[in-house]
Structure 1
Amino acid sequence: MNAAHTDTLLQVRAARRYGTLSPLRYPGGKASLAGFFADVIEALDLTDPTYVEPYAGGAGAGVALLVEGHVDRLVVNDFDPAVHSFWVAATEHCEALCALVADKPLTVEEWRRQKAVYRAADDTDPLALGFAFFYLNRTNRSGILNAGPIGGVNQTGNYKIDARFNRPELVRRLEAIGERAHRITVSNKDGRSIVQEHASDPNAFLYIDPPYLAAGGSLYLNAFTHRDHADLAATVRAYPHGNWVVTYDDAPYIRRLYEGEAVQSYALYYSAHRAVRSTELAVLSPSVSGVVATGHADAG
């Protein structure tokens, strides 16, 4: 590829903005990129576009794009068995999952029960494991799986365990996914294999958001080694004609891995006047870089 990295800040101000439509809370979640991706996908003029997240987690942007009608299909991949089980439950057992969300007690005692299910990691029962993951994701501090419950085990904090568990809203979000399950493909493969499966498809758009370098294992269920980051970069760079965006924390090591690509610092702006996210790093495929550079996607 011929694109060179630039230190010009890519200021993402998408023409369209959507509320939170994913039922999951995720550290560093990128749901706010959905409007920008919608602009890019429209500018690329893809036919019945497929949106692919090889490291999906909460798939915040992907769910928004599917629900709002900007993509025809959604591919949700996550190697972690608990995350994968949640997405299987949401797409194949949605009614049962919604019933659990509506009825399970929001108490420390129930939190302990669900934590035990999560730790057992029995993915032969995706409904049970997927709900346990979901329960901890919604009741733990910042949605982090190895954190304690909101408010602490003694529930003495300003916020209690139910602070992020709005049952009607979460059921609504889950039902929106269940209604579109026939357009969602769920898998738990290595993220690089998902890139290899879809990056050659001219009508696919890939958002590649791997575990960040600096965070390591503190935020992510599956931390990456330096070798994992290098292997992913080699895989992505093998598809110069694909439509993809990779996001990372801004680290010299990542810049070296993608040297020669369209690598830019970026910041998300929720309004015209206020930035509410720290600057990170985006690597754009030539096709995506082209529509951004020509102003067909609202950035800059």
Structure 2
Amino acid sequence: MQQLSLFENNQLDRITNVSSVPQRSPFRYPGGKTWLVPRIRQWLDSLQKQPSEFIEPFAGGGIVSLTVAFEDLANHVTMVEIDEEVAAVWHTIINGDGEWLAAQIVNFNLSQTSVNTVLTVNNILIQEKAFKTILKNRVNRGGILAAGAGTIKSGENGKGLRSRWYPETLKKRIIEIMKRRERITFIEGDGMEVLKANAHRTDAVFFIDPPYTAAGKKAGSRLYNYSEIDHEELFRLASAIAGDFLMTYDNTEEVRQLAQKHGFDTQTVAMKNTHHAKMTELLIGRNLDWCR
């Protein structure tokens, strides 16, 4: 298949050109996995048969789950997210009134005053919370939703708040997701519990991308409202999965030790962070021969 050419000659140090990956998500998500999409395709293509269900316990911006749904890489996709703001967006698009959300976005007259008005209103309906979340995600620096994040100042080419506000593009992405929502289930809840409840299934695969709070880095606490998880327990749950799984983590000694303790295979893969600095992340699975 054409996508495998990205991995010929073991070139895992080749950084994915994210502009070559279809942008499906309405979010610009800190820690997003657009750069990993070609590896996700390769992983799923390496399996003996197409999974009945693809489960992402920490969905966030959802680019991986959306890619799987759009490209028919699994029969069904289940996205799980505990953050109530992010969940409001997925509820609205997948289970609710996505047309309203799309219309609200394209009809919004964006200014500092209108943004402040929306962001200071509380006790709102779920679709209104969805709009507020998309707006906050687009006007905050780095797309950060966690408390304390500031809004964009000068932005790109002096565009300020409009630097990441693309209403027609956002509308199109929402409508395209809605066309495929019969193939997507969204659950607002604890990804660890969903993983535990489905670990026995041989027909399901899991993509596990937890908040980055391991190894003392605590980056997740700055980026996400829900950043604390029990990483030891997560690895224990992963070891009980009957089907296949792929995890991605910060490339740290602590994480490597956890993987070794549970007999998992590891592989570093190159990526760039939001500041375009080259970094490596760690892929973790039972057998990663498919990416070597």
TM-score band, normalised by shorter chain: 0.7 to 0.9
> Cα deviation per residue 1:48-95 (whole Å; 9 max; x = unaligned)?
542211111101111122112223222111111111111001112111
Report the alpha carbon displacement of residue 244 of structure 1 after superposing the two structures with TM.
Answer: 0.7
Deviates more, 1:179-188 or 1:64-73: 64-73
Partner of 1:191: 191
Q: 2:91 aligns with which of 78, 88, 111?
A: 88
Take 2:99 and 2:85, find their aligned partners in 1: how far apart are those partners? Answer: 19
> Cα deviation per residue 1:14-35 (whole Å; 9 max; x = unaligned)?
8x95222111111111022222
Partner of 2:3: none
For these two proteins, the number of residue pairs brought into alignment is: 269
Q: Is residue 15–residue 270 contact of structure 2 (8 Å, CA) maintained in 1? A: no
Partner of 1:114: 118
Partner of 2:268: 265
Unaligned runs of 5+ in 1: 1-7, 270-274
User: Partner amino acid for 1:116?
Assistant: T
1:229 is aligned to 2:236: no
Q: Is residue 98–residue 174 contact of structure 2 (8 Å, CA) maintained in 1? A: yes
Q: How does 1:57-136 map to 2 (within 5 A)?
A: 57-91=60-94, 92-117=96-121, 120=122, 122=123, 125-136=125-136
Q: 2:58 aligns with which of 55, 58, 70?
A: 55
Match of 2:168, SS state, is: helix
Partner of 1:243: 244
1:34 is aligned to 2:50: no
The RMSD of aligned alpha carbons is 2.7
Take 1:45 and 1:101, find their aligned partners in 2: how far apart are those partners? Answer: 42
Report the alpha carbon displacement of residue 100 of structure 1 after superposing the two structures with TM.
Answer: 0.8
Change (3 A) 1:207 1:144: same
Take 1:248 and 1:47, find their aligned partners in 2: how far apart are those partners? Answer: 25
> Cα deviation per residue 1:220-260 (whole Å; 9 max; x = unaligned)?
121115xx222212211222x32111111122222222222
Partner of 1:162: 162
Partner of 1:150: 152
1:279 is aligned to 2:280: yes
- The structure showing larger relative contact order (alpha-carbon pairs under 8 Å, at least 6 residues apart) is 1
Take 1:116 and 1:253, find their aligned partners in 2: how far apart are those partners? Answer: 40
User: Partner amino acid for 1:137?
Assistant: N
Q: Is residue 101–residue 167 contact of structure 1 (8 Å, CA) maintained in 2? A: yes
Change (3 A) 1:216 1:166: closer
Q: Is residue 18–residue 64 contact of structure 1 (8 Å, CA) maintained in 2? A: no
Q: Is residue 200–residue 240 contact of structure 2 (8 Å, CA) maintained in 1? A: no
Q: Is residue 12–residue 36 contact of structure 1 (8 Å, CA) maintained in 2? A: no
Take 2:144 and 2:189, find their aligned partners in 1: how far apart are those partners? Answer: 22
Take 2:120 and 2:157, find their aligned partners in 1: how far apart are those partners? Answer: 23
User: Partner amino acid for 2:118?
Assistant: Q
Take 2:207 and 2:14, find their aligned partners in 1: how far apart are those partners? Answer: 15
> Cα deviation per residue 1:194-227 (whole Å; 9 max; x = unaligned)?
21233333332211111112213111121115xx
Determine which structure has the larger helix proportion and give its number: 2
What TM-score, normalized by structure 1, do the two folds share? 0.81
> Cα deviation per residue 1:164-199 (whole Å; 9 max; x = unaligned)?
111111111100111111111111221111212333
Q: Is residue 199–residue 244 contact of structure 1 (8 Å, CA) maintained in 2? A: no
Report the alpha carbon displacement of residue 276 of structure 1 after superposing the two structures with TM.
Answer: 6.7
Unaligned runs of 5+ in 2: 1-9
Partner of 2:28: 25
Take 2:13 and 2:204, find their aligned partners in 1: how far apart are those partners? Answer: 24
Match of 2:202, SS state, is: coil
Change (3 A) 1:180 1:78: same
Percent identical residues: 27
Change (3 A) 1:127 1:35: same
